[in-house]
Amino acid sequence: MIGNLTFLKPTKDKLAVYMFLGALFFAIGIYDLISNSFFGNNITSFLPQFLSFFTPLLFGFIALHLIRIEYSGNTNLDIINKNINSNWFNGILTLLVIFVLIKMIPSLLNWAFFDANFKGTSKEECTGSGACWIFINVWFERLMYGLYPNDQIWRINIAFIALFLVVGAAFFVPPKNKKYIIIFLLFVFPFILISLLSGGNFGLEKVPTNEWGGLALTFIISIFAILFCFPVGMFLALGRRSDAPVIRYSSIGFIEFWRGVPLITVLFMASVMFPMFLPDGTFLDKLIRVVIAITLFEAAYMAEVIRGGLQALPRGQYDAGKSLGMNYWKLHLLVILPQALKLIIPGIANTFLALVKDTPLILVVGLLELVGMIDMAKTNPKWLGFAAEGYVFAGLVFWIICYAMSRYSQSLERKYKTDR
């Protein structure tokens, strides 16, 4: 049977044999790679070191070549060939990714877990060659709440618990009542949150905003900017498509201005230059100025995303609404925007993700969110040299936040069936 095989171009008439040989070569390659990377054993040690290092890649390449059979009739095999083994170039890329990942995993596991230190209160107790997670443990409260007074942290906890309860309630109330939750989040909750965190009334100790920080400040800025940039961006998108020249050109000018200026410059202007234009005796808190700056900046990008959804709708939708006697606002609120927003859920989610990841830039105006607190902690004389652990922790936190938002946006896409 083996003698009748065509190894240069496998065919499906001997599919079972080719699949067996391919699986065999792939298993040998994976075994050689894992045994070498994790246990230091090398089944090809009799070869020169250079050749021995790349032997798993050779085994893998032979395996993928043997199973690269077009329209084999085997569903799983056809899926593999279509996605990762359609030609020799894609096959090599697949093998390189697997090779690099397996080579990196042992070192990563040793640094993050096996050789790491988890318990202790000082850097002198970091005796291993791996990560010193004691740094995160000692600074955890500061990383979460910034410089907020320890005896007042309960106020932050209550504020965010209330927010999560309100947002969670939105998933269970009837659709006709969700508008009240949106109104509450936009016009009532911000004042409750600011009053609770800043204090100065109802017997609460006053806490200036320059003591706010950590992950809590990241959430505060992100939540407020997301709540306000979406409606502002929606009105800008409608204004850019307006038939009134003044409204259209004003919207275009606003959008292009904010899109053409880096966010770090916008934050600097909001912190340093903006107070110069206020009347004498007028003061606007730095945090409020930063939230306004980020909101306007992200609203410009949101407007372009929404405009893309508006342009994707056929002209007949507008004509159908007008034929029913709808005015401009009723037409857009009841007919156009619901359809347009369903089409741009990925774009909206992408803008929100970018907004969350832009929050570390507020460090330039002296506000210390999560990354800013890590920058402060790493310069502490008692904890010099542990920046890597801090940035890995921050990266993991941002990844969890962004992944959760991405998964939620995908669930919305499936719910509203946005595929066209």
Interval 182-230: pLDDT, tens = 888 888 888 888 889 988 888 889 999 888 999 999 999 998 899 899 9
Q: What is the C-alpha separation between 10 and 415, in angstroms, rounded? A: 43
Can you read off the two tokens belonging to residue 174? 């009837």
Domains along the chain? Answer: 2-114 (no CATH), 135-148+207-416 (1.10.3720.10)
Given a cut of 80, whether residue 46 has pLDDT beyond it is no
Instruction: Output the pLDDT for position 322.
Output: 85
Rounded to an integer, the average pLDDT of 31-41 is 79
Q: Is 340 in contact with 309 (CB distance < 8 Å)?
A: yes
Task: Tell me the three state secondary structure of residue 395.
Answer: helix
* pLDDT level of residue 6 (50, 70, 90 thresholds): low
pLDDT of residue 101: 85
Q: Which of 389, 399, 402 is CA-nearest to residue 140?
A: 389
In one letter, which amino acid is 29? G
Do residues 44 and 68 touch, judged by C-beta distance below 8 A? no
For residue 419, the model assigns a pLDDT of 54
φ, ψ dihedrals at 115, nearest 5°: -100, 10
Phi, psi dihedrals of residue 85, rounded to the nearest 5°: -145, 40
Question: In this predicted structure, what is the pLDDT of residue 123?
Answer: 83
Minimum mean pLDDT among 86-90, 240-244, 392-396: which range? 86-90
Question: Could you tell me which residues come within 8 angstroms of residue 395 by beta carbon, excluding any fewer than 6 positions away?
Answer: none
Q: Is the pLDDT of residue 417 over 80?
A: no
Would you give the DSSP letter of residue 69?
-
Tally of residues, the chain: 420
CA distance 136 to 124: 15
Q: What is the per-residue pLDDT across 130-144, written as a single tens digit (0 to 9) for each?
A: 889 999 999 999 999
Comparing 359 with 4, the larger pLDDT belongs to 359
Nearest to 166 by CA among 153, 179, 181: 181
Identify the pLDDT of residue 357: 92
d(CA 357, CA 298): 12
pLDDT at 7 (0 to 100): 59
Residue predicted with more confidence, 38 or 419: 38
Phi-psi region of 212 (alpha: psi -120 to 50; beta: other; left: phi over 0): beta
Percent of the chain scored above 90 by pLDDT? 30
Q: Is the pLDDT of residue 48 over 80?
A: no
- Which pTM was predicted? 0.82
Higher local confidence (pLDDT), 71 or 34: 34
Res 14 pLDDT > 90: no
Q: What is the pLDDT of residue 230?
A: 92
What whole-number distance in Å separates Cα of residue 81 and Cα of residue 10?
Answer: 13
pLDDT at residue 92, as a whole number: 85
Question: How high does pLDDT run on average in the chain?
Answer: 86
What does the pLDDT read at residue 4?
Answer: 56
What value does the mean pLDDT take over residues 394-406? 93
Per residue in 271-307, pLDDT tens? 887 777 777 777 788 888 899 999 999 999 999 999 9
Measured between alpha carbons, how far is 122 from 22 in angstroms, rounded to an integer?
53
Contact predicate 303/251, CB 8 Å: yes
Residue 163: which residues within 8 A CB-CB, separation 6 or more? 189, 193, 223
Looking at residue 146, what DSSP letter applies? B
77's tokens: 């095999």
pLDDT at 323 over 90: no
Burial 364-402 (b: 16+ CB within 10 A, else e): bbebbbbbbbbbbbbeeeebeebeebbeebbeebbeebb
pLDDT digits (tens, 9 = 90+) for 109-131: 888 888 888 888 888 888 878 88
What pLDDT, on the 0 to 100 scale, is given for residue 1? 46
Contact 68, 91 (CB under 8 A): yes
The confidence score (pLDDT) of residue 420 equals 52
Q: What is the residue whose two structure tokens read 């007949």? A: 316
* Confidence check: pLDDT of 95 > 60: yes
> pLDDT tens across 131-182, in order?
899 999 999 999 999 999 999 999 999 999 988 898 888 888 887 888 888 8
So what's the pLDDT on residue 303?
Answer: 94
